[in-house]
Amino acid sequence: MMATFFGEVLSVYSRAVEEDEDELEDESEEDVQIRREIENKREVHVHWSSEITKSTDKPFQCSDFIIGVGHNAAGFLSAFVLSSGSWEAVGSASLWNERSRGSSQPAGEPSCRFYRSAGCSSVLICLCTCFVAEDQLFQWTEKVFGFIQTRGLQVLVLSDASVSEYTTADPVSASPVPFLRALKSSAYQDRVHCPMMEQPNIVTCLPAAVLSHCQVHQIPAVLYQCYSDVVSPDTVTMETYKPALPCLSKLVTLDSSPSIDVLRKVVKSSESQSNLYT
C-alpha cells in the first residue's frame, strides 16, 4: 500500500513481490489505529428498503439474481429490461475507495442499486457501475448474498471488458468486435447462449468474486462477458448482451425497442466528458 500526498491509499501493483511487505509486525499503536480507520472507511455498506426487509421472510427469496457490471451491462439492463414493466428500487450498496470521486463519506452516494419487479418479485436486478477495490470484493459478495436465500437461486452476471484483455491465437482483428464469452459455475446446468471462454483467458473484479462465491457454495451461475473496443458506453456493445437474456424471458420481458430516453441518458453521461471542441 502507498499513501499519496492527498491521503488516498493506492495499491501498488507488480508481479515482483518485495520481501518486506510484512512490516505490520512492529507497528505502533497509532499505526494500528490508522489502519483500523482506513478499514472502517473502506467497508461496504448494503442497505435494503424497509418494504423488502419488513414484508419478506428472511432471507430474501428470489429465483433469479441478475447483476450488470460496468456501464454497458448496466445500460443494457436499464434500457432493455428495467424500462419495460414496473420495477422498484429496493436497495443499494455504497462504498468508498481510492477511485471514489470527491466525497470522503463512506456511506455517501450509493454505488450499486438493486431493483425488484413489482409484478414478479422473484427477480432481483443489480446495476453496478462503480469500481469495487480488490479488498472490498469479497465483502461485497458476502454481504449481498448473505441477504438472499440461495436455495433455488440462479445468478446471471453481465460484465463489460476491453478487447485488449482478451487473449487468442488468432489476431484479434480477425474476429468481429464486440463479442460475448461465457463462464459458468459447476452447478449451472442450462444452455449457454454464446461460446465458452477459452484458455488462458481469466476474469477478475466483481464478476470473479460473484462467480467464485457461487462456485464454492454450489449456486448455479453464469457470466456473459462482453469484450468491446469502445471505451465509453455505446449502444452497439449494449445490444451484444441480447443473446444472454432468452433464459430469462419467461420471467422478464425484454424490450425489443428500448426507451430512447434511457439510452440517451446512458450514452450522454460519457459524451459530456469531452468538451474541448463544443
Partner 1 sequence: MFIPVGCSAPSFKEFTLIMPAVSVGNVGQFATDLVISTLHMPRVGYFHSDCLVPMVGNNPYATSPEDSSELSTNAEVYSLPDLKLAVLQIRAPIIQTKYRQFRKSVVSWIKTNEFSKVVLLSSCHAHHRDDRQLLSTPLRYLLTPALQSVVGDGLQKLDWKEMEKVSAFPGISDTEQRLYIPGGGVTKTLYADCCSEGIPLAVLLIFCSEGDNMPHAFALVNYLNEWLHLVEKPGNVAARWKIPSSWKLLFGSGFPPALF
Query: Contact residues for partner 1 (CB under 8 A)?
Result: 1, 11-12, 15-19, 21-22, 24-25, 35, 39, 134-135, 137-139, 142, 166-174, 183-186, 196-205, 207-209, 211-212, 215-217, 223
CA dihedral of residues 75, 76, 82, 85 (deg, nearest 10) = 150
For residue 232, what are the contacts with CB-CB under 8 A and spacing of at least 6?
71, 267, 270, 271, 273
Query: Closer CB to partner 1, residue 102 or residue 171?
Result: 171
* In the complex, minimum distance from the CB of residue 163 to partner 1, in angstroms, rounded to a whole number: 10
DSSP E strand stretches across 86-169 = 87-94, 112-117, 123-128, 154-162
* In the complex, minimum distance from the CB of residue 266 to partner 1, in angstroms, rounded to a whole number: 27
* In the complex, minimum distance from the CB of residue 159 to partner 1, in angstroms, rounded to a whole number: 11
Question: Quick count: other Cβ atoms within 10 Å of Cβ 262?
Answer: 16
- Measured at the alpha carbon of residue 118, what is the angle toward residues 90 and 253, in degrees to the nearest 5? 110
End-to-end CA distance of the chain: 40
* In the complex, minimum distance from the CB of residue 39 to partner 1, in angstroms, rounded to a whole number: 8
* In the complex, minimum distance from the CB of residue 237 to partner 1, in angstroms, rounded to a whole number: 20
β-strand partners of 67: 126, 157
Query: Closer CB to partner 1, residue 202 or residue 260?
Result: 202
For residue 179, what are the contacts with CB-CB under 8 A and spacing of at least 6?
194, 226, 227, 240
Query: Closer CB to partner 1, residue 12 or residue 276?
Result: 12
Cell of 233: 458506453
Query: Closer CB to partner 1, residue 74 or residue 183?
Result: 183
Query: Closer CB to partner 1, residue 40 or residue 173?
Result: 173
Burial of 108 (0-12, 13-18, 19+ CB in 10 A): middle
Query: Closer CB to partner 1, residue 27 or residue 109?
Result: 27
CA-CA distance, 196 to 97, in Å (whole number)?
33
* In the complex, minimum distance from the CB of residue 201 to partner 1, in angstroms, rounded to a whole number: 6
